[in-house]
Structure 1
Amino acid sequence: MIRMLLRVLGHEYARPVRRTVTLMTATAILEGLSYALLVPVLRALFGSTPEDARPWLIAFGTVVAVYAVLRYVADLSGFLAGTTLLRGMYHRLGDHLARLPIGWYSAGRVGEVSVLASRGVLQAMSVIAHLLAPLISACVTPLTIVVVILAFNWQMGLAALAAVPVVAAIQIWTGRSTAAADAERVERDREATGRVIEYLQAQPVLRAGGRTVERFGLLDDSLRGLQRASRRSALSALPGIVGLTLTVQAMFTVLLVLGAYLALGGKIGAAEILAILVLAARCADPLLSLAEMNGRLRGARSELARLDTVLRTEPLPEPSEPVRPERHDLEFDSVAFHHGDRTVIDDVSLSVPQGQRLAVVGPSGAGKSTLLQLLARFYDVDAGAVRIGGVDVRAIDTETLMAQIAIVFQDVYLFEGTIEENVRLGRPDADEAEVRAAATAARLDEVIERLPGGWAADVGEGGALLSGGERQRVSIARALLKNAPIVLLDEVTSALDPVNEQAVHEGIERLMAGRTVVMVAHRMRTIQRADHIAFLDGGRIIEEGGHDELLHRGGRYADFWNISLTPAR
């Protein structure tokens, strides 16, 4: 398990882990050896001169004091190593998740990543801080005590030693018999977490449908499945717990009977028998605690395995010799992209000269947004190439590529915090005047003036305390502050009221000025001002050209235009 832990974290953490394991092992050995002093203490106390026990008691007290200091140092080392590993794990997991392709984040992974990044990481990293010391103590201290018993009486020592392979066999058998049940429980747990998130996100739909007093069937089913899986997991571990308890009790009984037999035969004294039985009783507690620790260790190992699986997922490869583009023209060269078995983009070739605007239009599901995502390298193409300034985006390192691009999505996500903090995400080192200028250009200043707290107003989780139009203005201000030479717009005004649409449109016009732009849009006045228009359907370009040219052809774009101008009845 330690090897897996170091593989998940990286071997730069090997030294503190090994130091902690060494300290804990030495502590457990010293604890076992300290009990060896009970034999001379009891022998003296039951002998003709009890005062002879005084030096042995002093020695015992000294060893216990050294053990207490060593235990404190070992536990402190465990806690410090645990917090270091926890911090390192969060950093490594966060960095890795940020580099994975967007396509990896399927709907089913929401619950998985939520559980893994919260309870999963804590459970896996708690091994060093909370489980390692009692585990080592439960294994090493009884073995040390068995060696001590062997040193005083080989017959009773061998009897105690016979229990070691039995305990080991029970532990191995329990681990194997519970593996399937534990895996099912974890899977059910992940599914239930996903359903809880889905239930919370679906509240507007459920309430609009008048189902607020009904139970959510999918969530109830997943919770019942989790309950059944947890019960099976607990029951599968029960035989191991019972077997371990019986083994420990049987070992103590054998030692008691054997000790009585040897004492009656005059081969061992009563003091030695009493001391050995005390030592045997001391073995019982840590051995019995193995049953409880095994369940926690299996859970931690399971979380480590899932962390290992996620961290082994290949991110988008970074170029070994990155190239920085000198221009900002764009090109799609025979691009193809598949999502599973479905062809999303099929042999698309487009070019956007520097400083010009390309509008991509077409029906829903045509692949319009995917073109923007390929340009930002959220995915890698399956065929062809996407280029910026003549350089394949795969040859540009991620930091440089993202510095070239400002993206405004239809669905804006704001981080919980103030408006100013969310705007500053565009360029954290911007001065106050630049932030205020970006807000004014995006007409965000109007929003700030009417909000309690102004710039310090909290936007809520995901921007929930702002309207859709207000969130869009924050997003545009953020993009303006970034001041990137390439702008990607994804239907940013499609769901806004007329007032917000007008404000957002003015902000978008300022954002696009002098920049290379690719926009996915339905609003006609936005499309009209594009230098080039591509009509996409089924992942292929059906028509392309200027607005007037495409209208004159009377093809799919003209139909699209005419439908958009027809008032709804």
Structure 2
Amino acid sequence: MFGMIKRLIGWTGKYKKRVYIGFIYAFINSIFTSLPIMLATYGLGLVFDDYKGIRTFDNDQIIYIFLLMILVIGGRFLFSYLRAVTQESVGCEATAEQRIRLGNIFKRVSLGFFNSNNMGEISSAVTTDLSFIEMLSMNMINTVVNGYITVLVMILFLLFYCPLAGIISLSGIVLSALFLYIAAKISDKNASIHQKAQDSIVENTIEFLRGMQTIKAFKQEGVSVQGIRKAYKNHKDVNIKIELENCPYNCLHQFVLKAASVGIIAVSAYLTYTRKMDVNIMLMMDMFSFVMFSQIEPLSNAIHVIEVVNKTLDKLEKIEKADIIDKGGQNIELKRHDIKFSDVCFSYDKKQILNNISFYIPEGSTTAIVGPSGSGKTTICNLIARFYDVNSGVITVGDKNIKDITCDSLLKNISMVFQKVYLFNDTIKNNILFGNPNASDNEVINAAIKAHCHEFISKLPNGYDTIIGDGGATLSGGEKQRISIARAILKDSPIIILDEATASVDPENEHLIQNAISSLTKGKTVIVIAHRLATIQDADQILVIDNGDVVQKGNHLELINQDGIYKNFINIKESAEGWCIS
């Protein structure tokens, strides 16, 4: 348990000093917590002595005690306040910094990280788990450390007045700590199960909401909700199992503390009865016995939470140790924008995708990449943008190996338009500004005009300030595609990658998008995964990919006169585009 608290303090990073200062305030506060009890019992002792005729009651003494108690209570309030303002916000501040760190890590890891890790686990880590730590980290530290500080201060007072009572209280603390240790071991075993159950809820909920359109279309609401129900039931069963396994040791923890309290009362009563202890000292010890143990009784409820926090930190540390794809890269300004693949191999999840491929894309040229589905076309584009790293071989932009460049330096030179467009739940203007946050309103409008989306934007009730919903839910596929082209135009990068940008749109939108792409690609180095004959035929160079190999290379006229995949591909395309209903 204390090892976990030490780890949690280490997690606070640069705020660690404030946590330790908070402990000092807590120590002083614990003294001020004890003093009112001592003053009250001293005052009662004076009253008893006066009653028994031992000494005369002095009103001034009571006034002094009363004033001193006010001063002590004020001191307790002051140091309690100082501890709170010093420690309490540390969890929020440390969590905010960790969220920023994780965001930066997510930007710099390979896309393979997201494919190989459970999205529910990743989502839970940056939302539920961090919020869990944010809310509970300082509470846990306060409950454990400050609670034991108060207990130890009171035990010191007990040892001074009655060593036997001090030993009884220490024995109770040691025994309760033993039962808490056993409970912590059980919780440590179950914490991973609890986390997996929590992640499963997040993952199934995300999947259910994302698939709502398909669920409704196939009228499978009952089937689809089974995953969520199963996840919720599993989460409930796990929590019940944890509670039942921890319950005996939590009860024993409470029992020994109560027993120690009864023991102190019994000893003080016996010593008072045998005239070996004054009544006021007995009352002080009895009050101490109730107050001191109340500080650590809540630990029985907190022990599982502490272990869950421990596993949460394990998960966050695992993410923070993820391989940064551009580690050691330099911020380099590229002077040229030609692209060269030299003996590039790439595999993913033990499957070979690209086999020793080599090709050259001159600056300012258009290269079309064609081939069967799954042949490696999109992988080539992802490697150019360094969404993944090659297993072997070299990719250069200009004369620079992209492994020697930071991702920011590289991607500053690349604009990408994907087949599947993602727009943020924000205004149209801010989605276009994603290409260049510093652009003016006029530049945004000019980019929209070139992308042929200004007209439909102007017809919207709020124009460029229209909120478009999560993923651009309020727009059609063609409208979303044109907005994505507008932000690429605004970015004005020298290298353009088009991943089948018109593959899923209707003919009218395709015409508008092609015009928008013409504005985007003018004078640029263009790599396009193509399916339209016109795009392929107009390309300066065509790469034919099959099973991870470049099987043909050349322009349209060169390749159409060769027997091979390209000629067959063009024949199929011509047949499909010439097909009509008679």
- Per the TM superposition, whether the score is higher than 0.5 is yes
Equivalent residue, structure 2, for 1:96? 105
Deviations 1:363-384, CA, capped at 9 Å, x for gaps: 1111111111111111111100
Contact 1:28–1:136 (CA under 8 A) maintained in structure 2:
no
* Residue correspondence of structure 1 range 335-354 to structure 2 within 5 A: 335-354=344-363
Contact 2:443–2:490 (CA under 8 A) maintained in structure 1:
yes
Could you tell me which amino acid in structure 2 is paired with residue 235 of structure 1?
L
Distance verdict in 2 for CA 1:469–1:215, change over 3 Å: closer
The answer to whether residue 387 in structure 2 is matched with residue 378 in structure 1 is yes
> What is the aligned length?
568
Deviates further, 343-352 or 265-274:
265-274
Equivalent residue, structure 2, for 1:401? 410
Could you say what secondary structure the match of 1:86 adopts? helix
- How far apart in 1 are the matches of 2:432 and 2:77? 54
Equivalent residue, structure 2, for 1:333? 342
- How far apart in 1 are the matches of 2:40 and 2:160? 13
Deviations 1:19-47, CA, capped at 9 Å, x for gaps: 33333343234324543334423322322
Contact 2:143–2:296 (CA under 8 A) maintained in structure 1:
no
The answer to whether residue 147 in structure 2 is matched with residue 138 in structure 1 is yes
Contact 2:22–2:83 (CA under 8 A) maintained in structure 1:
yes
The answer to whether residue 246 in structure 2 is matched with residue 246 in structure 1 is no
Distance verdict in 2 for CA 1:564–1:212, change over 3 Å: same
- How far apart in 1 are the matches of 2:105 and 2:218? 40
Could you say what secondary structure the match of 1:534 adopts? strand
Deviates further, 436-445 or 44-53:
44-53
Could you say what secondary structure the match of 1:105 adopts? helix
Equivalent residue, structure 2, for 1:441? 450
1:221 counterpart (215, 218, 230): 230
Could you tell me which amino acid in structure 2 is paired with residue 4 of structure 1?
R
Could you say what secondary structure the match of 1:151 adopts? helix
Equivalent residue, structure 1, for 2:266? 257
The answer to whether residue 313 in structure 2 is matched with residue 304 in structure 1 is yes
Could you say what secondary structure the match of 2:328 adopts? coil
- How far apart in 1 are the matches of 2:164 and 2:46? 23
Contact 2:375–2:548 (CA under 8 A) maintained in structure 1:
yes
Equivalent residue, structure 2, for 1:4? 7
1:37 counterpart (29, 33, 39): 39
Could you tell me which amino acid in structure 1 is paired with residue 283 of structure 2?
L
Could you tell me which amino acid in structure 2 is paired with residue 416 of structure 1?
N
- How far apart in 2 are the matches of 1:76 and 1:241? 31
- How far apart in 1 are the matches of 2:86 and 2:145? 14
2:499 counterpart (471, 479, 490): 490
Equivalent residue, structure 2, for 1:283? 292
- How far apart in 2 are the matches of 1:546 and 1:340? 34
Deviations 1:38-74, CA, capped at 9 Å, x for gaps: 4423322322144444433332321111010111121
Contact 1:330–1:389 (CA under 8 A) maintained in structure 2:
yes
Equivalent residue, structure 2, for 1:388? 397
Unaligned runs of 5+ in 1: none
Equivalent residue, structure 2, for 1:20? 22
The answer to whether residue 565 in structure 2 is matched with residue 564 in structure 1 is no
* Aligned-pair Cα RMSD in Å: 2.0
Equivalent residue, structure 1, for 2:552? 543
Could you say what secondary structure the match of 1:210 adopts? coil
Distance verdict in 2 for CA 1:137–1:18, change over 3 Å: closer
Deviates further, 12-21 or 67-76:
12-21
Could you say what secondary structure the match of 1:566 adopts? helix
Could you say what secondary structure the match of 1:288 adopts? coil
Could you say what secondary structure the match of 2:571 adopts? helix
Distance verdict in 2 for CA 1:13–1:450, change over 3 Å: same
Equivalent residue, structure 1, for 2:519? 510
Equivalent residue, structure 2, for 1:432? 441
Deviates further, 403-412 or 221-230:
221-230
* Residue correspondence of structure 1 range 102-141 to structure 2 within 5 A: 102-106=111-115, 108-141=117-150
2:72 counterpart (54, 58, 63): 63
Distance verdict in 2 for CA 1:346–1:30, change over 3 Å: farther
Deviations 1:57-102, CA, capped at 9 Å, x for gaps: 3323211110101111211222333332232122222112221211
Contact 2:91–2:133 (CA under 8 A) maintained in structure 1:
no
Q: 1:267 Cα shift?
A: 1.4
Could you say what secondary structure the match of 1:315 adopts? coil
Deviates further, 55-64 or 182-191:
55-64
Q: 1:128 Cα shift?
A: 4.8
Could you say what secondary structure the match of 1:193 adopts? helix
Could you tell me which amino acid in structure 2 is paired with residue 447 of structure 1?
F
Could you tell me which amino acid in structure 2 is paired with residue 566 of structure 1?
S
Q: 1:429 Cα shift?
A: 1.2
- How far apart in 1 are the matches of 2:225 and 2:311? 30
TM-score, L = length of structure 1: 0.95
TM-score, L = length of structure 2: 0.93
The answer to whether residue 161 in structure 2 is matched with residue 152 in structure 1 is yes
Could you tell me which amino acid in structure 1 is paired with residue 293 of structure 2?
A
Deviations 1:429-470, CA, capped at 9 Å, x for gaps: 112222111111100112212222111111111111111111
Equivalent residue, structure 2, for 1:77? 86
2:279 counterpart (255, 270, 283): 270
Could you tell me which amino acid in structure 1 is paired with residue 144 of structure 2?
L
Could you tell me which amino acid in structure 1 is paired with residue 552 of structure 2?
E
Could you tell me which amino acid in structure 2 is paired with residue 236 of structure 1?
E
- How far apart in 1 are the matches of 2:10 and 2:532? 52
Contact 2:326–2:405 (CA under 8 A) maintained in structure 1:
no
Distance verdict in 2 for CA 1:36–1:270, change over 3 Å: closer
1:554 counterpart (550, 563, 569): 563
Could you say what secondary structure the match of 2:345 adopts? strand
Distance verdict in 2 for CA 1:321–1:411, change over 3 Å: closer
How many percent identity over aligned positions? 26
Q: 1:322 Cα shift?
A: 4.5
Contact 1:439–1:474 (CA under 8 A) maintained in structure 2:
yes
Contact 1:40–1:53 (CA under 8 A) maintained in structure 2:
no
Q: 1:419 Cα shift?
A: 0.8
1:357 counterpart (349, 361, 366): 366
- How far apart in 1 are the matches of 2:166 and 2:38? 13
- How far apart in 2 are the matches of 1:501 and 1:24? 69
- How far apart in 2 are the matches of 1:335 and 1:488? 19
- How far apart in 2 are the matches of 1:483 and 1:75? 51
Equivalent residue, structure 1, for 2:53? none
Q: 1:521 Cα shift?
A: 1.8
- How far apart in 1 are the matches of 2:144 and 2:375? 57
- How far apart in 1 are the matches of 2:62 and 2:345? 87
Could you tell me which amino acid in structure 1 is paired with residue 271 of structure 2?
L
- How far apart in 1 are the matches of 2:563 and 2:324? 45
- How far apart in 2 are the matches of 1:439 and 1:528? 28
Distance verdict in 2 for CA 1:112–1:29, change over 3 Å: farther
- How far apart in 1 are the matches of 2:43 and 2:336? 86
Could you tell me which amino acid in structure 1 is paired with residue 379 of structure 2?
T
Contact 1:100–1:315 (CA under 8 A) maintained in structure 2:
yes
- How far apart in 1 are the matches of 2:25 and 2:464? 53
Distance verdict in 2 for CA 1:7–1:261, change over 3 Å: closer
- How far apart in 1 are the matches of 2:402 and 2:251? 61
Could you tell me which amino acid in structure 2 is paired with residue 335 of structure 1?
V
2:469 counterpart (460, 472, 491): 460
- How far apart in 1 are the matches of 2:323 and 2:46? 67
- How far apart in 2 are the matches of 1:14 and 1:419? 43
Could you tell me which amino acid in structure 2 is paired with residue 258 of structure 1?
V
Could you say what secondary structure the match of 1:363 adopts? coil
Could you tell me which amino acid in structure 2 is paired with residue 61 of structure 1?
I
Could you say what secondary structure the match of 2:412 adopts? helix
Distance verdict in 2 for CA 1:251–1:297, change over 3 Å: same
